[in-house]
Each structure stands twice: as C-alpha cells, then as structure tokens.
C-alpha cells in the first residue's frame, strides 16, 4: 500500500548520504568491476519513495554515485534524508545545502531514531519506522512546504505492518552501479546482545513480510537489472525460525524459475549451525554467504556480553558446519571488550588461522545509544565524548595498547598470502559444497560474458600486473583457471583486493578502528 493521494502535488527529493571509506563497503573493489560505484541501494529511502502519494513526483540521489545538484534542489519542494550514525556529518551537510534553497528537510532512519539530538538543523525529525509519523509528515508537507519556525519531531506510535509495505522503488536507483542488491524480510531480533541497538530500535519480536512480497521484490530487482548477489539486510535471518523455514521453499522455486542466476546472502546468529534443516534449504535456495556476529572466540567474553546463543555450539564447529553446506562465513569481531587481555590479539589471530574465515570485520568496541552497553558505561562514567578517538569507550586496557593490537591484527590477518590461503580453503572445502546448477541461457549472453571479461581484464592488469602482491595472486588465480572456476577467481579477488588495501591503511593508522566511529579521515564535510 501507499499513502493516500493528495490534492496538492509535492516534488520530493530523496538524498542518501555518502559513506567515508569503510571496511564494510568494499570501495577498493569497485575499480576491478564493470562500473560499480556504491555498496547497496538504501532500503529506507526507497521504501519511503514508494510509499509517498502516487501523484507526488520523487527523485532519488545516492551521493555515493553523484552529489545532489543545484538543479535537483531547485526542482524539489522538500528533501528527505536517511542514514546511519557513521553518515551523521554527511546528513547534516545535505541539510545545510538544502537550506541554501530554503527547502524543508526531513530526516528518518536508524540514526535519528536513536539520537534525535544529533540533528538540530533539520526541520522535521521522523523517529521510528514507517507508520503514523510518516502519514503526519506527508500531511504537513501537503498543507505547507515553507520551513517551520521550530523543529518538528514526529514519532511513530502505530507502525505500518510489514505485510502492507509497498515494493521499494528500486526503479529510481541505478541498480547496476551497486556491489550488492538489498532486500529486507524482517525487522527486529529476539536476542539482547549488550552492544546491539536493534532490540531497542525495532523490538525483540521480529516483524515480517510475506514470502509473496519477497518474491515480488526479487522479481522487481531483476527487472531493474540487479541479478548478481542480493543481501538480506535483516539483523537476524533466523530471528523467527518458523518464518525463515516458510520462506525458503518460495526462494527455491524462484531460483528454479529464474535459472539460479542470483546468489543470496544474509546475517544470522551462529546457532543456525544447529539447524541442518534450515541450512539444507538455504543451500538449495543458493545462499552463498552468512554474516555471523561471532564477536569473540572467548566464551567468558560472550557470556559477559549476553551472547549466549554463540555458545550453543562450539564456534569452530559451527563455522565448519555452515561451510559444509556451501556457505562462506563472514564474521564480526569486536576488540576492546572488558574481558580482553594483553594476549587477546594473538588469540584472535590464532582463531583466524583455525577458522579459515577470509573476511572478518574487526572493530573496536563502540557504545551505541539505546543499548545496555551504553547504559552500563554511562552509569560507570566510562563514556568518552571525543571525536578524535576511534572509540567512545574507556577501555580497561590502555587505549593506545588496544588500538595498537587492532592494527597488528589487521596487518597480519590480511597479509596477502594468508588471505588468499584462506580463500583457497574456501574454494576447496566450502564452494565445492554448493548446489551444482546448469549454466542458464541468461549467463551465456554476450552482455554477461563481456561483463566477466571486463572484470578479468581489470583484475589481471590492476592486481596481476600492477599489484605488489601479484605473485600471491597468480598462484591463486592459475589454480582457479585450471579448474575452470572463473566465478571463484573473480569473487575472491574482488573482495581480497579491498581487504588488503583497507587493512594496509588501517595498520598504518589511516583508517578508523570502528565502523561506528565518528572520527573523520579525509572527509570534506564538517561536523555540525
């Protein structure tokens, strides 16, 4: 469904802020592709764009692809912005630019919902999910698009059921310019990990779309040109296990109908390893990657952060179980925990070697508002308001020692030979377990073959000729070529090149030690 048709027509400019350089957005992979320029289409703004009255023209600009221009602002009657904490400065910058044209600016999404005080310059704050606050914002703009005298805060009390969500307006996005497609099945998570803000923002009882909605969204993504990999952005794909089980047969049938040209990925808790019936269906649906918040291999630390679900199965056993169904594990890791010891970094590197996980997002602990961690540290006087640091937490170990340990871990874990050895293991023991499907006619088209050739050319030249780790690369690449595994060669090298490049910057102090840090490096936008 969408908002009621309005008599007055308003032109809405939806602007998504750019990211600063980040471990998790893979920007160093883009030059190796056939034109990718950004990570994933933003679900929130594209959902709002689809919900607006059908007679309201909407323009969408992702500033990771291009900046909003004078012509965009002059066209608009109002501007909508959304994003995460890490994009705070960029969102404030968009607001100031829009105000130069005397446009009212509304902000929604996870950052403003958690921290409304971060955004004092915005005219409208939309706090919470799609619902009655959204309708109230639309009604206000229908009546008047002059800027209000004082900031207006609209808070959602009655959320729109996800079964009534419209299909996101993927047609407004340049889907072929994104590294991954995105789709959302559920909102919320039943677990209460101390550092996580999801239960506080979206609740512990996951809300769900219907399988039919998901299939319709996948069809729309395909129609808009996104056929490679689609990432379920749910915070926990198995937050409602029954719902996941009910969805999977629909995904399997969709893959059969479309020729298995799309790879799927998701986030889930490690206890998924205890659910072989789910893993088998995910394999049949061509899930190839699961992001798992392992956080730490230390059981005492897991207990302290209330992540008991990670102890339902031994961690290494859980990783190997998931691998046995053809799915690569991507792991979240946190350093700077209260339980960390001087030898924690060495233990983490041993875990990397044993687990053979290629991609681990290693972050310093950051306390987010609306989390039990924030409340505990605030009570203890251990929150530090200093944007020059990589974390807002006063660690129990010396800060410089923790940052130094993080840099060492990044340097050693992503040393090219070690990383490609882990990818070689994945090719031999994980990817080999994937569902074997016939090559569909769609994959044999000249356009698709040309695309693959462009990526191979870029990889061979920029990594195989110009790269300083080319010997390591060619050892891996020739093995893949001999086996006819061009897909494995391209996929592993795209990600590996980003990880190596980013880790080198991190180990030399040129990158943030937390994806949530507000510390800016080489950013042109000032903090408000």
Which CATH number do you get for residue 83?
3.40.50
Say what the pLDDT of residue 521 is: 42
Burial 287-300, CB ≥16 within 10 A → b, else e: bbbbbbbbbbbbee
Say what the pLDDT of residue 25 is: 87
pLDDT band at 526 (very low <50, low <70, confident <90, very high): very low
Does one domain contain both 111 and 192? no
Say what the pLDDT of residue 276 is: 96
- The answer to the question of residue 141 being in a domain is yes
pLDDT band at 311 (very low <50, low <70, confident <90, very high): confident
Does one domain contain both 112 and 238? no
- The answer to the question of residue 509 being in a domain is no
Mean pLDDT of the 381-409 span: 93
The H or E element that residue 342 is part of is none
- The answer to the question of residue 170 being in a domain is no
- The answer to the question of residue 3 being in a domain is no
Other C-beta atoms within 10 Å of 338: how many?
Answer: 17
Separation between Cα atoms, residue 464 and residue 455, nearest integer Å? 12
Separation between Cα atoms, residue 403 and residue 129, nearest integer Å? 36
Residue 41 near residue 62 (C-beta atoms within 8 A): yes
- The answer to the question of residue 163 being in a domain is no
Other C-beta atoms within 10 Å of 460: how many?
Answer: 18
Other C-beta atoms within 10 Å of 447: how many?
Answer: 7
Say what the pLDDT of residue 519 is: 52
Does one domain contain both 255 and 351? yes
pLDDT band at 524 (very low <50, low <70, confident <90, very high): very low
How much of the chain exceeds pLDDT 90, in percent? Answer: 81
Say what the pLDDT of residue 171 is: 97
Separation between Cα atoms, residue 110 and residue 85, nearest integer Å? 8
CA neighbours closer than 13 Å in the CB half-sphere of residue 109: 26
Lowest-pLDDT choice from 15-24, 69-78, 313-322 = 15-24
The 8-class DSSP code of residue 376 comes to: H
Domain final residue, candidates 410, 429, 448: 429
Say what the pLDDT of residue 478 is: 97
Instruction: Please indicate whether residue 196 or residue 216 has the higher confidence score (pLDDT).
Output: 216
Mean pLDDT of the 458-487 span: 97
Tens of pLDDT, residue by residue over 33-67, are 999 999 999 999 999 999 999 999 999 999 999 99
Helix, strand, coil share (%) of the chain residues, nearest 5:
45, 15, 40
Say what the pLDDT of residue 516 is: 53
Tens of pLDDT, residue by residue over 271-304, are 999 999 999 999 999 999 999 988 888 888 888 8
SS3 106: strand
Residue 268 near residue 238 (C-beta atoms within 8 A): yes
Q: Which of 264, 240, 239, 236 is nearest to 250 (CA)?
A: 264
Say what the pLDDT of residue 527 is: 36
Tens of pLDDT, residue by residue over 202-246, are 888 889 999 999 999 999 999 999 889 999 999 899 999 999 999
Say what the pLDDT of residue 310 is: 77
pLDDT band at 522 (very low <50, low <70, confident <90, very high): very low
Burial 138-176, CB ≥16 within 10 A → b, else e: bebbbeebebeeeebebebeebbebeebbebbbebbbbe
Does one domain contain both 194 and 129? no
Say what the pLDDT of residue 11 is: 98
Does one domain contain both 208 and 316? yes
How much of the chain exceeds pLDDT 70, in percent? Answer: 97
Does one domain contain both 150 and 287? no
Say what the pLDDT of residue 520 is: 46
Question: Which CB contacts under 8 angstroms, 24+ apart, belong to 310-315?
Answer: 310/269, 310/270, 310/271, 312/270, 312/271, 312/274, 313/270, 313/271, 313/273, 313/274, 315/270, 315/351, 315/355
Does one domain contain both 128 and 196? no
Domain final residue, candidates 108, 139, 155: 155
Using the predicted structure, report yes or no on whether residue 80 has a pLDDT greater than 90: yes
Mean pLDDT of the 400-424 span: 97
Tens of pLDDT, residue by residue over 113-156, are 999 999 999 999 999 999 999 999 999 999 999 999 999 999 99
Query: 419 CB contacts (<8 Å, ≥6 apart)?
Result: 358, 413, 496, 499, 500
Using the predicted structure, report yes or no on whether residue 449 has a pLDDT greater than 60: yes
**Mean pLDDT score of the chain, rounded to an integer?**
93
Separation between Cα atoms, residue 184 and residue 96, nearest integer Å? 31
Using the predicted structure, report yes or no on whether residue 396 has a pLDDT greater than 50: yes
- The answer to the question of residue 504 being in a domain is no
Q: Which of 258, 247, 309, 321 is nearest to 281 (CA)?
A: 247
200: domain CATH number?
Answer: 3.20.20.70
Segments forming the whole domain that contains residue 70: 12-155
Q: What is the pTM assigned to this prediction?
A: 0.93
Does one domain contain both 278 and 403? yes
Mean pLDDT of the 421-442 span: 93
Q: How many domains are contained in the chain?
A: 2
Say what the pLDDT of residue 489 is: 96
- The answer to the question of residue 518 being in a domain is no
Say what the pLDDT of residue 514 is: 59
Instruction: Please indicate whether residue 429 or residue 524 has the higher confidence score (pLDDT).
Output: 429
Using the predicted structure, report yes or no on whether residue 72 has a pLDDT greater than 50: yes
Does one domain contain both 307 and 422? yes
Does one domain contain both 209 and 87? no
Mean pLDDT of the 468-491 span: 96
Domain final residue, candidates 379, 407, 429: 429
Using the predicted structure, report yes or no on whether residue 523 has a pLDDT greater than 60: no
Query: 430 CB contacts (<8 Å, ≥6 apart)?
Result: 323, 326, 327, 328
Separation between Cα atoms, residue 498 and residue 29, nearest integer Å? 5
Residue 504 near residue 413 (C-beta atoms within 8 A): no
Using the predicted structure, report yes or no on whether residue 398 has a pLDDT greater than 60: yes
SS3 251: helix
Query: 120 CB contacts (<8 Å, ≥6 apart)?
Result: 151, 528
Give 159-172 as a 3 state SS string: ECCHHHCCCCCHHH
Does one domain contain both 138 and 189? no
Using the predicted structure, report yes or no on whether residue 515 has a pLDDT greater than 80: no
The H or E element that residue 208 is part of is strand 207-208
Using the predicted structure, report yes or no on whether residue 71 has a pLDDT greater than 90: yes
Does one domain contain both 149 and 207? no
- The answer to the question of residue 507 being in a domain is no
């Amino acid at each position: 469904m969408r908002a009621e048709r309005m008599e007055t027509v308003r032109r809405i400019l939806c602007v998504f802020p750019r990211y600063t350089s980040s471990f998790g957005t893979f920007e160093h992979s883009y030059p190796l592709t056939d034109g990718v320029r950004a990570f994933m289409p933003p679900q929130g703004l594209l959902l709002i764009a689809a919900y607006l009255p059908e007679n309201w023209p909407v323009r969408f600009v992702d500033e990771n692809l291009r900046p909003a221009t004078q012509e965009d602002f002059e066209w608009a009657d109002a501007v909508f912005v959304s994003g995460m904490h890490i994009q705070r400065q960029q969102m404030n910058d968009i607001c100031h630019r829009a105000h130069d044209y005397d446009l009212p600016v509304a902000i929604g999404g996870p950052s403003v919902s958690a921290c409304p005080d971060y955004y004092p310059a915005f005219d409208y704050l939309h706090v919470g999910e799609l619902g009655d606050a959204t309708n109230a914002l639309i009604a206000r703009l229908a009546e008047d698009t002059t800027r209000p005298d004082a900031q207006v805060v609209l808070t959602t009390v009655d959320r729109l059921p996800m079964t009534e969500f419209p299909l996101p307006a993927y047609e407004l996005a340049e889907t072929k310019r994104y590294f991954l497609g995105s789709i959302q099945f559920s909102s919320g998570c039943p677990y209460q990990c101390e550092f996580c803000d999801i239960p506080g923002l979206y609740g512990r009882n996951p809300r769900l779309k219907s399988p039919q909605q998901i299939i319709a969204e996948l069809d729309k993504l395909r129609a808009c040109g996104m056929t490679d990999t689609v990432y379920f952005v749910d915070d926990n794909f198995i937050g409602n296990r029954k719902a996941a089980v009910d969805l999977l047969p629909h995904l399997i049938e969709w893959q059969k109908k479309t020729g298995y040209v799309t790879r799927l990925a998701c986030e889930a808790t490690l206890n998924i390893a205890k659910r072989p019936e789910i893993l088998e269906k995910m394999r049949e649906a061509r899930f190839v990657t699961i992001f798992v918040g392992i956080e730490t291999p230390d059981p005492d630390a897991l207990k302290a952060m209330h992540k008991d679900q990670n102890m339902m199965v031994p961690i290494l056993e859980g990783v190997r179980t998931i691998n046995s169904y053809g799915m690569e594990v991507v792991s979240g890791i946190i350093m700077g925990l209260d339980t960390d010891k001087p030898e924690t970094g060495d233990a983490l590197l041993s875990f990397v070697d044993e687990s053979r996980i290629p991609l681990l997002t290693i972050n310093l602990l950051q306390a987010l508002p609306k989390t039990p961690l924030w409340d505990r540290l605030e009570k203890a006087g251990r929150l530090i308001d200093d944007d020059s640091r990589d974390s807002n937490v006063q660690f129990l170990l010396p800060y410089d020692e923790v940052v130094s340990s993080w840099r060492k871990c990044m340097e050693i874990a992503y040393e090219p030979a070690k990383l490609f050895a882990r990818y070689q293991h994945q090719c031999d023991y994980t990817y080999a377990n994937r569902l074997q499907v016939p090559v569909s006619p769609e994959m044999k088209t000249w356009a698709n073959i040309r695309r693959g050739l462009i990526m191979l050319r870029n990889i061979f030249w920029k990594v195989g000729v110009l790269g300083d780790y080319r010997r390591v690369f060619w050892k891996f690449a020739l093995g893949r070529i001999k086996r006819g595994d061009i897909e494995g060669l391209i996929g592993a090298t795209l990600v590996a090149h980003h990880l190596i490049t980013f880790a080198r910057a991190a180990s030399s102090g040129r990158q943030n030690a937390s994806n949530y840090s507000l510390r800016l490096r080489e950013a042109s936008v000032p903090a408000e």
